[in-house]
Amino acid sequence: MIVAEGLSKSYSGRRAIDGVSFTIAEGEIVGLLGLNGAGKSTILKILGCFLLPSSGRATVGGYSVDTNPQAIRRLIGYLPDVPPLYDEMTVDSYLTYVAKLKNVDHKSVASSVGIVKDKANLNEVGLARISELSHGFRQRVGIAQALVHNPKVIILDEPINGLDPVQIVEMRDLILSLRGQHTVVLSSHILSEITRTCDRVLVVDHGRLVAEGSEASLQSKMFESMRLSLDLTTVPNGFAERLKAINGVSAVNYVPGQGGERFYLDTTGDVRAQVAKVAVDAGAGLLGLSRGEAGLEGLFMKLIKPVEERAHG
Amino acid sequence: MGKCLLVAGRELRAYFSTWMGYVICAAALFIEGLLFNAYAVGNQPKVSADVLADYFYFASGMTMVAGVFLAMRLLAEEKQNGTLVLFYTSPISERQIVYGKFLSALCFSFIIQLLSLYMPGLVFMVGKVSLGHLAAGYLMLTLLGASAISISLFASAISPNQLVAGVTGALFLVTFLILWMVADVVSPPLKELFGYLAIHNRHFVPFSQGIVHTRDVIYYGSVVVFFLECSVRALEARRWQG
């Protein structure tokens, strides 16, 4: 559905993206992951026909962004990082306007607006002026405008930006509800959000694609070590040594707690089964064994580290 | 054409749903009213045709000023608020955007002219002027308003915000206004060129006297199309710049 080959874009001589290539299949939900300024938005703007690449080529639905942007614009729904809203309009009149702008058949406009209001939970604010809406509702109106014409491809630039935890969950559910019916490309700098909603992750750093794949495949391919968190009721004598003896455990850190004891284990490969067995055999009262947050964040840091090192010589 | 009208309709409603439209309309009518009483009618006896010619002279100035204010926001505000992306990611051409925006401002300018109709209407009822004189004057106001809007719309297309757009639009318009003065101090063939390009002097006077020359209509039409097409190109170029 989407193909990018050697995409580059420069702003006043500064390279925002540099030779980015990827393919996205129909029905996939793919996340662009990267720090602020990594080049995610530039890639999305090119796919959305908002920007032309300096070099390279991109096609959406078989149409080139260079030569046939109008055909692509019929296929896509686009939510930029700041939703494109007219404050003086009501939600209903705005969505009706966008539906007509996006070539929704005149007879279907009202029903399309109704459907998208249901999807984005906007029924209670249909008659409200957009200027009166909270940030969360504005974001929902933004996503509604991207969906109102039932596009094949949906491009969402930082869709959870500035949302509170409840709104993030709602937005995540909304994105997941699009699975299968639409091809979705979204960007975020929050790794946990990307891995929860996307089938596949494209990691962008300093304008370059540094890795791609599912979270699991990225970890198996690129992340050699994993940090485990082990919670116990008691710590038997010599327990730390028994953990260190497990093949694949490189370091053990003990953190005494008030309601339980915790060990952090730096490991090579997945040794959770062996660690659990050691804890049970030792009668340590196993309360929990999980991959620590450092695992996810560490993955990301590890992926971008070589580029950082290059940048700093 | 449908998309063009869709954009024009939304813009026209935006003038009425914000203070901007009402303020521009009220200010234009208030100043035109003052000038009509103070200068066009005045204290000295005048023939009706002169009163009407004086009215159109002042109204033409107000129409140009209103045109700059009406058009300066059209594209610059979209850039400021980040709503231009809605157009760039929708199946609508840059030409439809520009002509739709232009149409909305022209309609609003036309509404102001309609509301000012009572002043020349009084002259028509009380004095002796022809309907043709009245029609020629309003045709001139419409053409001059359209030219000012298209020039200011181009300024709006190349400016990052409304303030810069307003200043740039006024600068372009004043340049076109004073070209007749420049024409007086340069030698041929620039003299003829600048004299022809001046937006008000040579092309305005016949209209205000009730005379319509096709060449003047073509001149104003050319100014409008030229600046609208420049605006289209400016919008197209934004895809390269980002």
From A46, which residue of chain B is nearest by alpha-carbon distance? Answer: B239
Cβ separation A50–B17 shorter than 8 A: no
A229 touches A293 (CB < 8 A): no
Contacts of B85 in chain A (CB under 8 A): 48, 50, 78, 80, 84
Q: Is the ipTM of this complex over 0.90?
A: no
Cα–Cα distance, B38 to B63 (Å, whole number): 18
CA dist list (Å): A159 to A72, A84, A143, A188, A189: 21, 13, 8, 8, 11
Of A52, A73, A82, the CB nearest to B90: A73
Cβ separation B83–A145 shorter than 8 A: no
**What pLDDT, on a 0 to 100 scale, did the predictor assign at position A3?**
92
- Decide if A105 touches B, using CB distance below 8 A: no
**What pLDDT, on a 0 to 100 scale, did the predictor assign at position B40?**
73
**What pLDDT, on a 0 to 100 scale, did the predictor assign at position A313?**
39
The predicted-structure confidence for B4-54, as pLDDT tens digits, reads as follows 999 999 999 999 888 888 999 999 899 988 888 888 777 777 788 888 888
In degrees to the nearest 10, what's the CA dihedral of B150, B154, B155, B158? 170
pLDDT tier at A250, thresholds 50, 70, 90: confident
Q: Beta partners for A261?
A: A232, A256
pLDDT tier at A219, thresholds 50, 70, 90: low
- Decide if A264 touches B, using CB distance below 8 A: no
Single-letter amino acid code for the residue at A299: L
A238 touches A220 (CB < 8 A): no
- Decide if B95 touches A, using CB distance below 8 A: no
DSSP A3: E
By three-state DSSP, how is residue A30 classified? strand
**What pLDDT, on a 0 to 100 scale, did the predictor assign at position A170?**
84
Single-letter amino acid code for the residue at A110: A
Is the pLDDT at B173 greater than 80, yes or no? yes
From B10, which residue of chain A is nearest by alpha-carbon distance? Answer: A97
Q: Which one is predicted more confidently, A306 or B1?
A: B1
B89, B235, B240, B241: which to substitute to probe chain A, counting the most A Cβ within 10 Å?
A: B89
Look up residue A277 and give its two tokens: 């067995």
A11, A50, A68, A98: which to substitute to probe chain B, counting the most B Cβ within 10 Å?
A: A50
Q: Beta partners for A262?
A: A231, A255
Look up residue B83 and give its two tokens: 């709503």
B142 touches B58 (CB < 8 A): no
Cα–Cα distance, A233 to A284 (Å, whole number): 6
Structural domain count, chain B: 1
Domains of chain A by residue range: 2-214, 223-299
Q: Which of A156, A66, A12 is nearest to B239 (CA)?
A: A66
pLDDT tier at A221, thresholds 50, 70, 90: low
Alpha carbon of B16: minimum distance to chain A alpha carbons (Å) = 10
Q: Which of A169, A197, A196 is nearest to A184 (CA)?
A: A197
Cα–Cα distance, A129 to B102 (Å, whole number): 25
DSSP A132: G
**What pLDDT, on a 0 to 100 scale, did the predictor assign at position B41?**
76
- Residue whose tokens read 């810069």: B164
Single-letter amino acid code for the residue at B111: I
- Is the domain spanning A223-299 CATH 3.30.2130.10? The answer is yes
Cβ separation A50–B85 shorter than 8 A: yes
CB–CB contacts below 8 A, A to B: 66
DSSP A85: -
Look up residue A270 and give its two tokens: 């997945």
From A48, which residue of chain B is nearest by alpha-carbon distance? Answer: B89
B25 touches B112 (CB < 8 A): yes
Mean confidence (pLDDT) of chain A: 85
Alpha carbon of B90: minimum distance to chain A alpha carbons (Å) = 5
For the segment B80-97, the average pLDDT, to the nearest whole number, is 92
Beta strands A29-33; A183-188: pairing state: parallel
- Decide if B3 touches A, using CB distance below 8 A: yes
Q: Which of A10, A40, A23, A6 is nearest to A204 (CA)?
A: A40
Cα–Cα distance, B88 to A102 (Å, whole number): 11
Is the pLDDT at A279 greater than 60, yes or no? yes
- Residue whose tokens read 């260190």: A244
Q: Which of residues 19-38 of B touch A (CB under 8 A)?
A: none
Contacts of B14 in chain A (CB under 8 A): 86, 88
Is the pLDDT at A308 greater than 70, yes or no? no
Cα–Cα distance, B193 to B196 (Å, whole number): 5
Rg of chain A taking only CA atoms, in angstroms: 23
> Which structural domain, as residue segments, surrounds residue B203?
2-241
For the segment A216-229, the average pLDDT, to the nearest whole number, is 67
Beta strands A208-213; A200-205: pairing state: antiparallel
Of A50, A74, A101, the CB nearest to B6: A101
Alpha helix segments (H runs only) across chain B:
2-17, 19-35, 48-81, 84-88, 94-115, 118-126, 131-158, 162-177, 179-185, 190-197, 201-208, 214-241
The predicted-structure confidence for B134-152, as pLDDT tens digits, reads as follows 888 899 999 999 999 999 9
**Exposure b/e, B70-84, CB count within 10 A at least 16 = b:** bbbbbbbbbbbeebb
Q: Which one is predicted more confidently, B159 or B196?
A: B159
Of B17, B83, B240, the CB nearest to A84: B83
- Residue whose tokens read 């053990």: A252
Give B62-102 as a DSSP string.
Answer: HHHHHHHHHHHHHHHHHHHHT-HHHHHTSS--HHHHHHHHH
For the segment A96-100, the average pLDDT, to the nearest whole number, is 96
Look up residue A232 and give its two tokens: 């116990």
For the segment A96-113, the average pLDDT, to the nearest whole number, is 93
A141 touches A114 (CB < 8 A): no
Q: Which of A69-73, A268-272, B86-90 comes out lowest in average pLDDT? A: A268-272
By three-state DSSP, how is residue A43 classified? helix
For the segment A240-252, the average pLDDT, to the nearest whole number, is 88
- Decide if A101 touches B, using CB distance below 8 A: yes
CA B101-B103-B104 angle, to 5 degrees, is 65
Cβ separation B240–A52 shorter than 8 A: yes
A17, A87, A88, A103: which to substitute to probe chain B, counting the most B Cβ within 10 Å?
A: A88
Cβ separation A145–B86 shorter than 8 A: yes
B89 touches A73 (CB < 8 A): yes
- Decide if A73 touches B, using CB distance below 8 A: yes
- Residue whose tokens read 């038997």: A236
- Decide if B83 touches A, using CB distance below 8 A: yes
For the segment A251-279, the average pLDDT, to the nearest whole number, is 83
- Is the domain spanning A2-214 CATH 1.10.3720.10? The answer is no
The predicted-structure confidence for A25-51, as pLDDT tens digits, reads as follows 998 999 998 887 888 899 999 999 888
Alpha carbon of A170: minimum distance to chain B alpha carbons (Å) = 24
B16, B86, B87, B241: which to substitute to probe chain A, counting the most A Cβ within 10 Å?
A: B86
From A42, which residue of chain B is nearest by alpha-carbon distance? Answer: B242
Contacts of B91 in chain A (CB under 8 A): 70, 73-74, 101-103
